[in-house]
Structure 1
């Protein structure tokens, strides 16, 4: 997915925490395993080293609700994000 950040997307006032390059932002729509689309999300990505930055609350937006167990919900969100980034199809708008 990082290839989409190499030449496209708007540059943001955020340097990559890993390599200090200027990051870019793209609107991404992830698809759930059942084929339905999630709400669009602006994802910051580094065109140089492929890292991603999630703004406050973005992990929680894509995590399914879990009876108020915040620590477990955060861990689930991270797991879901990794699954989506590596396996699920996405649409760049």
Structure 2
């Protein structure tokens, strides 16, 4: 009607962005059900990753094609940037 409700057409995402986003979704499915706080945290991480992939035009291409990362490894690396590492997580746990 008067063009008020027309959606803006955006450029389609590159295959590299699509690969990374598919891996993010697989990661979400794999770790679903770990509690509401974990899911809320992952929602935030997912939003930040999507923002990065859509605003930094060549980020996904540079990561996958130029650096040689697999999509799964690149996704794990991006998620790991947002997850704090506990000091005791590096030490093996011994049964007592």
* Superposition TM-score, scaled by structure 1 size: 0.30
Q: Which has the larger share of strand?
A: 1
More helix, by proportion: 2
Larger Rg: 2
TM-score by length of 2: 0.29
